[in-house]
A and B are shown apart, each in its own frame.
Chain A
């Protein structure tokens, strides 16, 4: 698969504040790529630079190998689904969908059939003559998607399109977007701050913070093997513990040596350890690797969430088996569920804040 889009050394600042710093990103054809990060991380700016709405200070945007930096948005073969729908209030549903086709001078019969096709695709059959203001938020977003895809863009840009909708509708539309992507066979670039959304929908997730790409990979890869503390905290819940790498395949966590599968960190090196709460197994005292006491307990539907004080650290644990508060337990973690990460190299990286 070839790269359809490439961002080369893109930098951008607003009011002397650096938003993107020499960003490089390659986007393969026909993928569902998500830019994920807290607000202010530069993900929307990246999308707007691709769409042509914001101009980068330096660097290039390459589309199929050609530099399109100078191309205004109306000349780019992309279409955008905006966060707040941005439907034209003075046009009805059909006129909104037809707008791009009329601009490009398509015939009336072609436009007619395209409108019907698009309405069917987003499950809005029969809404053609409705006023935009008469639609619910979810319906408006479906129309916004229809309006974008009738133009057969090579790339569809989606800027937090589900952000304004309630949870149930959001989940419903997530599945529809995946279906649409598969039916249309085009590239989707999706911006969100919702990690669950990113993990559910994407082929590739790009985690961003403070204008840098923190990690890029498949959802499984991002979730199971976070490369740094930021990614680990931002994606799902996790225990991040200051630890000491004793030698290859052995790490000292909270004063206790745990076997693990990582190699090559050296001997007696400080590291961060990430352990997902569902990977901590609770057992009778003395039967695990580290003893402790349950301090909090919350029922969360699919599982119980507990906090266990053990070895001077408050462990977050998820389990389907209840352990009441005050009960003495023992923790155990399988070696392959211990993820070792190098300590951040500089103060600057340490300062990464999560505000989402």
Chain B
């Protein structure tokens, strides 16, 4: 037994160098100024109006993205569930396949599709439906986020729903429930673990993304991710960047802890 424990040594080295020390590094840089003396101003910089606005916008857009994903995924999960296990491999295949096209390219494709002279607007125009003028607006960013993260909402929800024993649904019908009540009383409550992991897998990346807002926001939309990126890679202060990252991380950890309270059994599954 003792010898077998030693097998974890290489992994422990990776945890130490790849997780623990880097997190301590953030902590260190967040708490010092550029001369290396202790300060709280990096953490306090979150209250800077520009940063606060970015944080607010990130939360808002991530909220809408998560909500839309959830509203799209739930009916889809219910519909696909009815087809049973038969098509499960096919459904998962179709959801995962797009990920084999680089996600930046797929986001850029939306830029092409949404632009003023793009395919969608040409089509809408020829149908006399006016124009969808959302490129470089928060709307386009939300659309891009929904596009990129929708599979991560659908997959866990579908995986949980497809495993719900159909005899439970039949039992509810048998006891007099209408189709709507079967969904409300049986299918949705039993899908909670999938819904929770779907929300986690959508909200966090949406809130912290910076590439999507850069591509579809045309450089006008600053999310907290864009601010942090700027601090590090476009001549800002890495100490301020570390401070903001620190605040964001604490924020995420707290919301995850709150969310997991709903998932009493911890049955949420990633794949």
Contact, chains A and B (beta carbon distance below 8 A): yes
Binding site for B on A (CB under 8 A): 51-53, 72-75, 78-80, 82-84, 86-90, 99-100, 103-104, 147-148, 151
Tell whether, in the assembled complex, residue B186 and residue A73 are in contact, meaning their CB atoms are under 8 Å apart.
Answer: no
Of B30-38, B59-67, B88-96, B168-176, the one touching chain A = B168-176
Tell whether, in the assembled complex, residue B170 and residue A74 are in contact, meaning their CB atoms are under 8 Å apart.
Answer: no
Give 9 CB contacts A-B under 8 Å.
A51-B174, A52-B173, A53-B173, A73-B170, A86-B168, A88-B186, A103-B177, A148-B175, A151-B175
Tell whether, in the assembled complex, residue B189 and residue A100 are in contact, meaning their CB atoms are under 8 Å apart.
Answer: no
Tell whether, in the assembled complex, residue B176 and residue A74 are in contact, meaning their CB atoms are under 8 Å apart.
Answer: yes
> Which among A52, A84, A100, A147 has the greatest number of chain B C-beta atoms within 10 A?
A100
Tell whether, in the assembled complex, residue B176 and residue A89 are in contact, meaning their CB atoms are under 8 Å apart.
Answer: no
Tell whether, in the assembled complex, residue B171 and residue A88 are in contact, meaning their CB atoms are under 8 Å apart.
Answer: yes
Bound CA–CA A79/B167 (angstroms): 13
Contacting residues, chain A, for B172 (C-beta < 8 A): 88, 99
Tell me whether A90 and B189 are in contact in the complex, defined as CB-CB below 8 angstroms, given that A53-B170, A82-B170, A103-B181 are known contacts.
yes
Specify the main secondary structure of chain B where it touches its partner: helix
Bound CA–CA A52/B170 (angstroms): 10
Bound CA–CA A68/B190 (angstroms): 31
Tell whether, in the assembled complex, residue B175 and residue A90 are in contact, meaning their CB atoms are under 8 Å apart.
Answer: no
Tell whether, in the assembled complex, residue A99 and residue B170 are in contact, meaning their CB atoms are under 8 Å apart.
Answer: no
Tell whether, in the assembled complex, residue A86 and residue B165 are in contact, meaning their CB atoms are under 8 Å apart.
Answer: yes
Contacting residues, chain B, for A75 (C-beta < 8 A): 176
Bound CA–CA A74/B181 (angstroms): 11
Contacting residues, chain A, for B177 (C-beta < 8 A): 74, 99, 103
Bound CA–CA A99/B177 (angstroms): 9
List residues 124-138 of chain B with CB under 8 A from any CB of chain A: none
Bound CA–CA A83/B171 (angstroms): 11
Tell whether, in the assembled complex, residue A103 and residue B171 are in contact, meaning their CB atoms are under 8 Å apart.
Answer: no
Tell whether, in the assembled complex, residue B171 and residue A86 are in contact, meaning their CB atoms are under 8 Å apart.
Answer: yes
Query: B120-154 interface mask toward A, CB cutoff 8 Å, 1 = contact, 0 = none?
Result: 00000000000000000000000000000000000
Bound CA–CA A170/B185 (angstroms): 31
